[in-house]
Amino acid sequence: MIGIGSDHGGFLLKQEIIAHLENKGIVVKDFGCYNQEAVDYPEYGQAVAKAVQSGECESGIVVCGTGIGISIAANKVKGIRCALVHDCFSAKATKEHNNSNMLALGARVIGPGLALEIVDIFLSTPFSNEERHQNRINQIEEN
Ligand code: RB5
């Protein structure tokens, strides 16, 4: 199951991502928000992050206006590696190198076409399992 969340700035893109994933038969849990009324992004970033941390969700996707605030909030949860990505190369690289378990997107930065491509690449690319990358991830997790 994929966890997804956004603030008001990311709400419309979140809805597009949910529809896109559900069309592919992927089970999605929506942690809100549920309309375009102004809310605070930390609540939603951390709700998805905690679901990934606990294992309830295998990966998480979070969206705010820039993707910055919600990714910072998610990355405060231990064990979360949330990558803010706005290009296809980075979507692939962050799975292969960082084994990122969350993706953040900025709805005011990129359009839905590119965002959905990034989501697909992020969810379909496996970790490389290379020792040098695992060692670096271990160093992050030690702190
Ligand atoms: C909300 O106006 C905006 O600050 C938020 O969506 C995000 O861009 C924060 O980083």
Let me know if 97 is a catalytic residue.
yes
Which ligand 1 atom sits nearest the alpha carbon of residue 69?
Answer: 10
Higher pLDDT, 26 or 143: 26
Q: Is the CB of 68 under 6 A from ligand 1?
A: yes
Would you state the pLDDT for residue 85? 98
Minimal-distance CA residue to ligand 1 atom 8: 65
Buried residues in 4-19 as b, exposed as e (16+ CB within 10 A): bbbbbbbbebbbbbbe
**Ligand 1 near 45 CB (within 6 A):** no
Q: What are phi and psi of 45, to 5 degrees?
A: -65, -40
Which residues are CB-neighbours of 84 under 8 A, at least 6 positions away?
67, 68, 71, 104, 105, 106
Give the tens place of pLDDT for each residue, 46-78: 999 999 999 999 999 999 999 999 999 999 999
6-19: pLDDT as tens digits: 999 999 999 999 99
Contact status, residue 67 vs residue 101, Cβ threshold 8 Å? no
Asked if the model's pLDDT at residue 143 lies above 90, the reply is no
CB distance 69 to ligand 1 below 6 Å: yes
Mean of per-residue pLDDT scores for the chain: 98
Percent of the chain with pLDDT over 90: 99
